[in-house]
Protein backbone atom coordinates (compact mmCIF):
# COMPACT_ATOMS: atom_id res chain seq x y z
CA UNK A 1 0.00 0.00 0.00
CA UNK A 2 1.50 3.43 -0.95
CA UNK A 3 2.21 5.85 1.84
CA UNK A 4 0.29 9.07 1.96
CA UNK A 5 2.46 12.01 1.05
CA UNK A 6 3.07 14.63 3.68
CA UNK A 7 2.57 18.32 3.13
CA UNK A 8 6.30 18.93 2.75
CA UNK A 9 6.63 16.16 0.16
CA UNK A 10 3.68 17.55 -1.75
CA UNK A 11 5.03 21.12 -1.69
CA UNK A 12 8.49 19.91 -2.72
CA UNK A 13 6.97 18.09 -5.68
CA UNK A 14 4.91 21.14 -6.62
CA UNK A 15 7.87 23.46 -6.41
CA UNK A 16 9.95 21.08 -8.54
CA UNK A 17 7.26 20.91 -11.19
CA UNK A 18 6.79 24.68 -10.99
CA UNK A 19 10.51 25.24 -11.56
CA UNK A 20 10.43 22.89 -14.54
CA UNK A 21 7.39 24.66 -15.98
CA UNK A 22 8.95 28.10 -15.42
CA UNK A 23 12.14 26.99 -17.19
CA UNK A 24 10.18 25.60 -20.13
CA UNK A 25 8.06 28.76 -20.36
CA UNK A 26 11.10 31.06 -20.22
CA UNK A 27 12.85 29.11 -23.00
CA UNK A 28 9.73 29.09 -25.16
CA UNK A 29 9.04 32.80 -24.73
CA UNK A 30 12.66 33.74 -25.39
CA UNK A 31 12.70 31.61 -28.53
CA UNK A 32 9.48 33.21 -29.78
CA UNK A 33 9.91 36.80 -28.67
CA UNK A 34 13.58 37.30 -27.73
CA UNK A 35 14.32 39.48 -30.75
CA UNK A 36 11.46 41.83 -29.91
CA UNK A 37 13.05 42.71 -26.58
CA UNK A 38 16.10 44.02 -28.42
CA UNK A 39 14.07 46.49 -30.49
CA UNK A 40 13.93 50.14 -29.40
CA UNK A 41 10.76 51.37 -27.71
CA UNK A 42 8.79 53.57 -30.14
CA UNK A 43 8.93 57.29 -29.39
CA UNK A 44 5.12 57.56 -29.32
CA UNK A 45 4.93 54.92 -26.58
CA UNK A 46 7.64 56.66 -24.56
CA UNK A 47 5.70 59.92 -24.89
CA UNK A 48 2.54 58.25 -23.55
CA UNK A 49 4.39 56.79 -20.58
CA UNK A 50 6.06 60.07 -19.77
CA UNK A 51 2.76 61.96 -20.03
CA UNK A 52 1.09 59.65 -17.51
CA UNK A 53 3.97 59.10 -15.10
CA UNK A 54 3.86 60.66 -11.63
CA UNK A 55 5.33 64.12 -11.42
CA UNK A 56 4.63 65.09 -15.01
Q: What is the per-residue pLDDT for 55?
A: 77
Report the alpha-carbon distance of residue 22 to residue 15 in Å, rounded.
Answer: 10
Domain boundaries, the chain: 7-51
pLDDT band at 48 (very low <50, low <70, confident <90, very high): very high
| Predicted confidence (pLDDT) at residue 1 exceeds the cutoff of 80 | no
The pTM score is: 0.47
Residue 50, C-beta contacts closer than 8 angstroms, at least 6 positions apart: 56
Amino acid sequence: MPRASTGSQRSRRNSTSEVAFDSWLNRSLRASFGEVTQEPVPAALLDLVRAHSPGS
